[in-house]
């Protein structure tokens, strides 16, 4: 009996997959989880011109997703075509680089029908309402239905046709949160549309998120929408962004550096209104906050890049969350310069949440019984009370002026300073904190942190004016690299020259380093170039060298600033406050910490039960 050779394998046979298998494979690219289905359906509703979109989910979207809109609707005759693969009303297929809508691939509804039980009920202005159902890829017939206008898309039992995918889904709570995040991102992109999200698990609907349509111009509407989505604190501490360059327009809001997060969970980027996750854009956002945030903090922003659709390719990934710009350098430079300009324009501002945190730390538990306060006494009454309560002088000791209550200076002595944002210096405590009085409250300044930022900004201004001094190497350092790495570095030689790093081709795969920034002292040129190359590969641009120079300037400013423990005279303290008001970014030190805290008089009185 002949024994089959285990090394002999049957010849592979090429087969044409059936339509059901093709749709399920396509669905695997488009639909990762229930949130992906919600994203596709809501984007279709926006493209249909809807002004009100309501989403209902059950069990995190696993058992039910229902999207109701008041858009233009679908004609009864077009319903079978709407659920066919690669059928769309968004484009005609002639130009994939001129896309003005969210959807354009024509795969969403077909993919949903391939893996779940899909029902579409729709009515447009020219026909009666109709319904079509698709279950596991099997299309039913079109039947009459009752609907006033718009479209209702209902997806039940997602992934029932591909049960293996269900095992990869997370808990109902986690999937529901992912759906909420998707709705919030789309709500930020469309402030003039009402979004409603309900959880109908258990039968009783529960409102999860609601954002009513905003009114006014685009900036006012966006500010109102961001307030409802990201909260009041962000709206109060956000800076308006409006910048243009070479056909690209950057708008949105970015938070002050002192209003930051420990992770990049509140960074929202949009390209032509489409929510995207792009490494280059995120890198530009991080670079803009480079010298005002420490490495363990992340900025908070909602930024919108608008341009001609032909300047950006959105057909990069089936989920349409990645884009590719024709000129990424221009976009990156626009984001960095636009944000830095806005931060500089903010001057000495620090976020209001700093004061809130301070008051929270000072807050004492509320008393069990109410305490009734009298009206605030007059100055003469307070003066007499203090004198009456002052202890009698001990025998043998003369009463010194410092032991008595001294009336404050005559009104108007510091009125000019008190009217200024940081007020008039009144005292210095613990040889580090300046107490200033404003017309509406009290300002506490960290003298070392504040002066550190002032010195740092001066050093940067001097370097920008005079350039970065370079130190010529006695013997050029020759570094062997690959062809691609050499080309990448030689393409940015002019940029490196402005930062004091001089390189040139040395033949073959070698780069000659002829000068390095003098402020860095003795450095490992090869390690520096490799760090620059890593950043170029990862983000398409480099801030590595500039970051190192800024770090040196920051260190110099730290050692050259007013130290903690130094006593300051009143004129010195007031001069520091005035310089802070005139210096950009002085609301935070070089490490992103606040340089001052402002407490409103009403908040202070609340601490003492004077409300």
Please write the tens of the pLDDT for every residue from 144-182: 999 999 999 999 999 888 888 888 889 999 999 999 999
Count, in order, helices (H) and strands (E) of the chain: 20, 23
Task: Single out the residue of 258, 250, 361, 357 nearest to residue 307, CA to CA.
Answer: 250
Residue 314: the pLDDT is: 81
CATH of 218-346, one of 2.60.40.10, 3.50.50.60, 3.30.230.10, 3.20.20.70: 3.30.230.10
Residue 604's pLDDT band (boundaries 50, 70, 90)? confident
Percent of all residues in the chain with a pLDDT value above 70, rounded to a whole number: 79
pLDDT above 60 for 367: no
Residue 187: the pLDDT is: 96
Query: Mean pLDDT across the stretch 65-80?
Result: 92
Residue spans in the chain of domains classed CATH 3.30.230.10: 218-346
Residue 405: the pLDDT is: 30
Rounded-to-10 torsion of CA 550, 555, 561, 566? 160
Rounded-to-10 torsion of CA 571, 573, 574, 576? 120
Measure the CA–CA gap between 82 and 100, rounded to whole angstroms.
Answer: 19
Question: 414-611 belongs to which CATH class?
Answer: alpha beta
Task: Single out the residue of 139, 111, 133, 124 nearest to residue 77, CA to CA.
Answer: 124
Element (H, E) at 270: strand 267-271
Residue 381's pLDDT band (boundaries 50, 70, 90)? very low
Measure the CA–CA gap between 120 and 139, rounded to whole angstroms.
Answer: 11
Residue 339: the pLDDT is: 94
Task: Single out the residue of 218, 91, 81 nearest to residue 142, CA to CA.
Answer: 81
Long-range contacts of 292-296 (CB under 8 A, 24+ apart): 292/257, 292/343, 292/585, 292/588, 292/590, 292/592, 293/257, 293/260, 293/591, 293/592, 294/591, 294/592, 294/593, 296/262
Residue 362: the pLDDT is: 58
Question: Which of 132-141, 237-246, 468-477 is most confident?
Answer: 237-246
Lowest mean pLDDT among 52-56, 92-96, 141-145, 397-401: 397-401
Per-position b or e across 263-289, b if 16+ CB within 10 A of its CB: eeebbbbbbbbbbbebebbbbbbbbbb
Residue 223: the pLDDT is: 95
Residue 373: the pLDDT is: 40
Q: 566 φ, ψ to 5°?
A: -95, 130
pLDDT above 70 for 100: no
Sheet holding 470-480, edge to edge: 470-480, 510-517, 502-505
Residue 355: the pLDDT is: 64
Pairing of strands 52-58, 194-199: parallel
Residue 59, class by beta-carbon neighbours within 10 Å (0-12 exposed, 13-18 middle, 19+ buried)?
middle
Residue 34: the pLDDT is: 93
Q: pLDDT (tens digit, 9 = 90+) per residue, 531-563?
A: 888 877 766 666 667 777 777 677 667 766 677
pLDDT above 90 for 240: yes
Q: pLDDT (tens digit, 9 = 90+) per residue, 470-513?
A: 888 888 899 998 888 888 888 888 878 877 888 898 888 889 99
Percent of all residues in the chain with a pLDDT value above 90, rounded to a whole number: 34
CATH of 19-209, one of 3.40.1670.10, 1.20.1250.20, 3.30.565.10, 3.30.43.10: 3.30.565.10
pLDDT above 60 for 392: no
Give the residue with greater pLDDT, 372 vs 14. Answer: 14
Query: Mean pLDDT across the stretch 198-224?
Result: 92
Residue 122: the pLDDT is: 95
Residue 212: the pLDDT is: 96
Q: pLDDT (tens digit, 9 = 90+) per residue, 313-328?
A: 887 766 677 888 989 8
DSSP assignments along 320-375, one per residue: ----EESSHHHHHHHHHHHHHHHHHHTTT---HHHHHHHHHHHPPPPPSS--PPPP
Residue 117's pLDDT band (boundaries 50, 70, 90)? very high
Beta-bridge mates of residue 51: none
Residue 407: the pLDDT is: 39
Residue 26's pLDDT band (boundaries 50, 70, 90)? low
Residue 22's pLDDT band (boundaries 50, 70, 90)? low
Measure the CA–CA gap between 42 and 69, rounded to whole angstroms.
Answer: 9
Residue 436, class by beta-carbon neighbours within 10 Å (0-12 exposed, 13-18 middle, 19+ buried)?
buried
Q: pLDDT (tens digit, 9 = 90+) per residue, 296-306?
A: 789 999 999 99
Residue spans in the chain of domains classed CATH 3.30.1540.20: 414-611
Contacts of 168 (CB under 8 A, 6+ apart): none
User: 10 Å Cβ neighbour count for 366?
Assistant: 9
Query: Mean pLDDT across the stretch 44-48?
Result: 91
Residue 399's pLDDT band (boundaries 50, 70, 90)? very low
Mean pLDDT of all residues belonging to the chain: 81
Residue spans in the chain of domains classed CATH 3.30.565.10: 19-209
Residue 213: the pLDDT is: 95
Q: pLDDT (tens digit, 9 = 90+) per residue, 188-199?
A: 999 999 999 999
Residue 191: the pLDDT is: 96
Lowest mean pLDDT among 126-130, 284-288, 413-417, 422-426: 413-417
pLDDT above 70 for 65: yes
Measure the CA–CA gap between 504 and 159, rounded to whole angstroms.
Answer: 58
Q: pLDDT (tens digit, 9 = 90+) per residue, 506-538?
A: 888 889 999 888 877 777 888 888 888 887 776
């Amino acid at each position: 009996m002949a024994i089959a050779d285990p090394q002999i394998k049957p010849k592979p046979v090429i087969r044409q997959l059936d339509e059901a298998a093709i749709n399920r494979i396509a669905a695997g690219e488009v639909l990762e989880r229930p949130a992906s289905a919600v994203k596709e359906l809501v984007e279709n509703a926006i493209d249909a011109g809807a002004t009100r979109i309501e989403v209902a989910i059950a069990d995190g979207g696993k058992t039910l997703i229902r999207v109701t809109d008041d858009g233009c609707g679908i004609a009864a005759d077009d319903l079978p075509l709407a659920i066919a693969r690669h059928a769309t009303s968004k484009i005609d297929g002639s130009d994939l680089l001129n896309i003005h809508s969210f959807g354009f691939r024509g795969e969403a509804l077909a993919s949903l029908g391939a893996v779940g039980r899909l029902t579409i009920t729709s009515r447009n202005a020219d026909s009666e309402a109709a319904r079509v159902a698709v279950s596991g890829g099997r299309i039913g017939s079109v039947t009459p239905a009752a609907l006033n206008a718009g479209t209702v898309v209902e997806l039940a039992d997602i992934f029932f046709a591909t049960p293996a995918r269900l095992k990869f889904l997370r808990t109902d709570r986690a999937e529901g949160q992912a759906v909420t995040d998707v709705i919030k991102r789309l709500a930020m992109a469309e402030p003039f549309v009402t979004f409603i999200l309900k959880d109908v698990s258990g039968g009783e609907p529960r409102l999860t998120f609601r954002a009513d349509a905003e009114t006014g111009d685009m900036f006012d509407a966006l500010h109102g929408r961001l307030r409802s989505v990201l909260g009041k604190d962000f709206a109060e501490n956000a800076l308006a962004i409006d910048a243009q360059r070479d056909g690209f327009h950057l708008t949105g809001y970015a938070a002050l550096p002192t209003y930051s997060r420990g992770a990049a969970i509140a960074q929202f980027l949009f390209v032509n209104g489409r929510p995207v996750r792009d490494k280059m854009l995120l890198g530009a956002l991080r670079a803009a906050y480079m010298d005002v945030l420490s490495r363990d903090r992340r900025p908070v922003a909602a930024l919108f890049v608008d341009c001609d659709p032909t300047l950006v390719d959105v057909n990069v990934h089936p989920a349409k969350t990645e884009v590719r710009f024709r000129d990424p350098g221009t976009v990156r430079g626009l984001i960095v310069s636009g944000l830095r300009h806005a931060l500089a324009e903010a001057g000495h501002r620090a976020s209001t949440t700093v004061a809130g945190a301070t008051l929270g730390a000072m807050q004492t538990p509320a008393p069990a019984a109410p305490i009734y306060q009298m009206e605030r006494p007059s100055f003469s009454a307070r003066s007499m009370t203090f004198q009456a309560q002052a202890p009698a002088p001990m025998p043998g000791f003369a009463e010194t002026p410092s032991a008595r209550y001294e009336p404050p200076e005559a009104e108007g002595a510091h009125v000019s300073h008190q009217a200024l944002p940081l007020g008039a210096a009144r005292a210095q405590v613990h040889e580090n904190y300046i107490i200033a009085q404003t017309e509406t409250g009290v300002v506490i300044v960290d003298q070392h942190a504040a002066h550190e930022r002032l010195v740092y900004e001066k050093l940067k201004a001097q370097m920008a004016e005079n350039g970065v001094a370079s130190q010529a190497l006695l013997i050029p350092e020759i570094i062997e690299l690959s062809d691609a790495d050499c080309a990448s570095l030689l393409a940015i030689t002019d940029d490196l020259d402005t930062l004091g790093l001089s390189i040139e081709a040395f033949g073959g795969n070698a780069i000659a380093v002829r000068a390095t920034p003098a402020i860095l002292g003795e450095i490992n040129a090869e390690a520096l170039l490799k760090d620059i190359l890593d950043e170029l590969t990862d983000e398409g641009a480099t801030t590595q060298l500039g970051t190192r120079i800024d770090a040196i300037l920051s260190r110099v400013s730290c050692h050259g600033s007013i130290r903690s423990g130094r006593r300051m005279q009143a004129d010195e303290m007031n001069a520091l406050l005035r310089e802070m008001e005139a210096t950009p970014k002085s609301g935070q030190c070089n490490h992103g910490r606040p340089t001052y805290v402002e407490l409103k008089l009403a908040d202070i009185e609340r601490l003492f039960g004077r409300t």
